[in-house]
Structure 1
Amino acid sequence: MTAAESGRTPPDQRDAWSAGAKAAVPFTVAIFAFGISFGVLAKGAGFSALAASSMSGLVFVGSSQFAAVSVIVNGGGWAAAVAAGTLLNLRYLVMGFAILPALRGGRARRAVESQLVIEESWAIASDADGHFDRVRLLSSGVVLWLGWVAGTLVGAVGPFRAVDILNYGLDAVSPVLFFLLLAPHLGTARKRSAAATAVAGAVVLTAMAVPDAAIAVACVIAVVWTWRSR
């Protein structure tokens, strides 16, 4: 009798679940701290701990949650908050199309599984050949989700204030997360030079008081370096 026939998870699949969960741990530590920041912001906007943690559990996207709550803090309505969060989430359409072949079942099941697709779980699930591993996606996504919701709850019920976000350096968590995503892909001199050029461009543009342009410049550098490597 095979493992599948007996209802047990095959050893290789158990290894994949374990690998995905372990790979998510470094990101989860940062996401937990990031969640504390969101919990503090949500509390300052008048959200209860239940409302803040429920939002994190259902939305599970830090950037859109920060944007939505920031709109409310600055006097905007719920429609404007939803619009801001939705615009920031449009990137997940592209990510969703890429990872769709790895998901299983009908539309309802795939819709549920896709809720665990964020930048970190997407990167952990990806292979060098551009394919995605469903088990790594789900296992890492669950661990990341738990860290995000737990961090939000701690920020919402704890004694933290908005000023503590700066005092404890929690505002630096977002760049750290993206560095963790980038670091495994810097295996060649060409990739390291591309990253260094993007960093230099970001520093210069920030010094020139146009930091928003740094993202566009970094994307152009990535496209050029990718084209040159073909």
Structure 2
Amino acid sequence: MSDIENGLCYLCGKEGADSRDHVPPKAVLPKDYRSEGEDLITVPAHQRCNRDWKDDDEYFQTQIALAAFTAGDAGKALHSKVMRGLDREEATGLREHIDSGITGTTVLSPDGTVDHNYIQVKPDWQRLLDVIARTGRGIYYHETKNIIPLNVSEKPVVAEPDKIIPIFKSNTDHIRSFAGSSFKYISVMGEEEPHRCGYLFNFFDRLFFSVVFHDEEGSWRAV
């Protein structure tokens, strides 16, 4: 019997899942750009486990939106939604946290005069990577109907665009895409490495991540 039939929570692996969690967080997929009847990925979870991620999910959405501003209409729609949300009084803490990571840089012309100014937003990468690792666990659950044991190591990283974009371009038959290509992913699994699996994630063609799960002891088989 599959984990879903057993009602196991994909986050903690225990029985009694009483809700479903979206992976990646639904909030990063603009509603107006989802196809009618499009099935987003959801997996069983305890409500209490799900609630533990609420703040990180909101932070993740905000950072994706900041990066997606120049990513066509879907990216602009997400950016506009998030900016409106940050004006809420209850978003004060999140807004202040984001503001603390903003730095200004002045670019000088050859003659020493100011050419232009720009700002940079430095995110809390660990919070983003924690959501990426969880997304990988959720998608694995969705695809295999099994849980990645908590003792299996996970390595989420920010991927370099010049390395990951060609992979997406050359593996179009293996891409799963959601909300008008706002989110795309590729599964990386192989019989030659049965104790390892991974995923490549593409958000709005602006932010790219990868995550690898590996059981060094060899007691868990990914495929």
TM-score normalised over the length of structure 2 = 0.26
Higher relative contact order (CA 8 A, sep 6+): 1
Bigger fraction of residues in helix: 1
The alignment's TM-score, normalised by the length of structure 1, stands at 0.25
**Structure holding more strand per residue:** 2
